[in-house]
Amino acid sequence: MLAELDTIRTEGIATLEGISDETSLENFRVNYLGKKGRLTTVSAGMRDVPPDQKAAVGAKLNEVRTALTAGIEQRLSSLQAAKDAESVKGIDVTLPGRPARSGALHPLTRIRDRAIQTLRRMGFALADGPEIETEWHCFDALNTPADHPARNEKDTFYLPDGRLLRTHTSTVQIRTMESAKALPVRIIAPGAAYRRDEIDATHLSVFNQLEGLYVATDVSLADLKGTLEYFFQDTFGPQTQVRFRPHFFPFTEPSFEIDIKLEVKGQEARWIEIAGCGMVDPAVFEAVCKSRGDKLFDPEKVTGFAFGMGLDRLAMILHGITDIRHLIENDARFLSQF
């Protein structure tokens, strides 16, 4: 048996030297080391070896197995090295590499992150809520009368079960007050809103809003004005002029539209509407108290302000975008500018 093992080793090593592909190498492994291979067949005869020869034959068997296994691994390494060399043959490694194009954040993402950073520095926390809402959270709690145009099916996306796609992120303000444990409440709510608008250069049926709410025992109109003036000057530059115009919203009283003076080189400066705001209407606090079953937001003891703005509109003003549809079309020629 010792002579037979030497023969297997000699023949195996010689065969390995002539193997030129991985498939043949795998066939060799099976023929020599597989369950029915030559070496396995010989090792099965160990039971017939005289006791005084078992140690020598066992050692030789392990020696041959180790030699063949090492030979297979070495040959596999050589074949893989040759394949790698062939794959890069003809490549000039001294040529400079081709730079990979780096991406950039979408302009909507950039303005949202920038707005959040500014307001977080002012003490506002992030809040979130569902995009599928109840009429109570979207309209009733916000003091919106039953005959208000926004509640019409021509303006709002209603679901078969009576729920709707939120028309503003003011619903997050109501849900935050419902779950608040104590005062003050100071939150911002960025997110998507949905309305049945005809899509054109300035309108989309799905758009991005950012709303804010601050409620405490001594919040004043001066706090609202100072907060928003600082925000818009931080966003558009310290020289930005901000104007508050009296307006009406069902959920704030008094209410204001906010304009900023836009100055573009080569064009006459003009005022443009950019946001809405106001002091929270006492009726909103009463609705929240009724829902909560307590008096944490007692309108006789607390005051607050709220504001809301379209992030799409902020992005358009900041980057000089003339058509809101560019923000959703994913045109690489447009996005590469940012």
Output phi, psi for 104, to 5 deg.
-150, 160
Taken in order 231, 236, 238, 241, is the CA torsion positive or negative?
A: negative
Q: Which residues are annotated as a binding site?
A: 253
Distance CA 278, CA 157 (A): 26
User: 297 with 285: CB under 8 angstroms?
Assistant: yes
Among 187, 181, 151, 149, smallest CA distance to 169 is for: 187
Distances (CA, A) of 328 to 147, 199, 261, 331: 33, 11, 27, 8
Q: Quick one: how many helices (H) and strands (E) in the chain? A: 11, 9
The two tokens of residue 284 are 């909103």
With a CB cutoff of 8 Å and minimum separation 6, the contacts of 200 are: 325
Question: Could you give the 3-state DSSP secondary structure of residue 303?
Answer: strand
CA atoms within 13 A on the CB side of 2: 9
Instruction: Point out the annotated binding site for Mg(2+).
Output: 253
CB environment 123-141: b (16+ within 10 A), e (fewer): ebeebebeeebbbebbbbb
Q: Name the residue with tokens 């935050």.
A: 176
The DSSP symbol for 124 reads P
Helices (H), 185-336: 221-236, 282-292, 311-319, 332-335
* Tally of CB atoms within 10 A around 326: 19
Handedness of CA 326, 332, 335, 337 (dihedral sign): negative
Q: What is the CA radius of gyration of the chain?
A: 38
